Amino acid sequence: MKRERRLGATCACIATVLLLSACSGVKNYPEQKTQNLRIHTQVDSVSATRSTVAEFDVHLVDSHCETEYQGRVYLDQPLVETGIPTERMVYLDFIFASKTMLSSTVSGIRHGVLFTPRSGYEYDVKVSYDKGIYDVVLREMRDGTITRVIPRRSLDECRGSR
Amino acid sequence: MYESFEVNRPVEEVADAFKKRADECLNLAIGSQTKPTFGTPSSVHYYAKVKPTVATSAKRTEMYVQILFEHQIGVPKDGMYYLIADAYPSGKGTRVDLYRRTKMGTVGEAIRGWASGKNMGCPDPGTFL
């Protein structure tokens, strides 16, 4: 009886965890066949009491600048490789989330890049956060040569240009 | 707080960097949002606006950073001045004089990076607001 009760509690916990992850609206970006996006990340927190993590959301964007969420990539390794669709607009929404110890508040900075990746090209991103200074630099490359640096562009700019 | 430093770049390049980065990094609104475990998140409540202004003449560039918090009265239209940077030619390079509130340390660091061209990153608003 005791064992059954414990098993029931365990199942309830798992269900709660699943339910929580389902309700948060954030899902992992699925594995991609073509790896055309390489992200180099260097995150150093401001202090011992304030920790920062980096991640980004991938959205597909239609001609009306409406987004379709694809998932989140966690930049918890110095190098992360994934793939993004080509020949259509995508919006990469980089997030730096910081939390101070013993505080329930999370502060976040978003850095969005809206662009159309080209097939046959690779995209290399340098994401950094050091002593309160953050940067995201996205470069388009072909055969190891930088062909252009993709500037920051928000969805508001896209909507404003329609 | 006052600090002053020199960089080995002409004042025109420093001015260009200030114009580009100030708008991208410091033209922002700060808000808060509550995200409950279940249900819909609240709408974002914006409580502060940061406004950078860069003014240039042939031989001088000035940058001001103002912050306007909600419910503030008796302050300039776009808020109190939190940082002022003056850049002018000095020798073969540019001297930058910074006048800032103590809390604007990361903004000061970012401006050093923009002026030298060595680090074009943006200051995290969470560190100065």
pLDDT digits (tens, 9 = 90+) for A38-81: 999 999 866 777 789 999 999 999 999 999 999 999 999 999 99
Tell me the one-letter amino acid at B55.
A
Set of chain A residues whose Cβ sits within 8 Å of the Cβ of B121: 128, 130, 133-135
A18 has pLDDT over 50? no
Which phi and psi angles does A38 have, rounded to 5°? Answer: -120, 125
Mean pLDDT value of segment B99-107:
95
Q: In this structure, are strands A37-44 and A122-130 parallel, antiparallel, or unpaired?
A: parallel
For range B77-105, the mean pLDDT: 96
Q: How far is A14 from chain B (nearest CA, A)?
A: 16
Q: Is residue B23 classed as helix, strand or coil in its secondary structure?
A: helix
Q: Which residue has the higher pLDDT, A105 or B104?
A: B104
Chain A residues with CB-CB distance to B37 below 8 A: 20, 23
Rg (C-alpha) for chain A, rounded Å, is 19
Which residue among B106, B122, B126 sits closest to A98, beta carbon to beta carbon? B126
> How far apart are the two ends of chain B, measured CA to CA in Å?
17
Burial B59-84 (b: 16+ CB within 10 A, else e): eebbbbbbbbeeeeeeeeebbebbbe
Could you tell me what percent of chain B has a pLDDT over 90? 76
B49 burial class (0-12, 13-18, 19+ CB within 10 angstroms)? middle
**A152: nearest CB among B24, B119, B123:** B24
Interchain CB distance below 8 Å, A132 and B37: no
pLDDT the model gives residue A6: 45
Query: pLDDT per residue over A115-142, tens digit each?
Result: 999 999 999 999 999 989 999 999 999 9
Question: How far is the CA of A24 from the CAs of A139, B44, B56, in angstroms?
Answer: 31, 17, 47
Tell whether ipTM is more than 0.85. yes
Question: Which residue on chain B is closest to A16 by alpha carbon?
Answer: B37
Q: Dig out the tokens for B118 from the structure.
A: 């060595």
| Confidence check: pLDDT of A4 > 70 | no
Distance CA B95, CA B33 (A): 41
Closest-CA distance, A73 to chain B, in angstroms, reads: 20
Cross-chain Cβ contact A109/B124 below 8 Å: yes
Looking at every residue in chain A, the average pLDDT score rounds to: 84
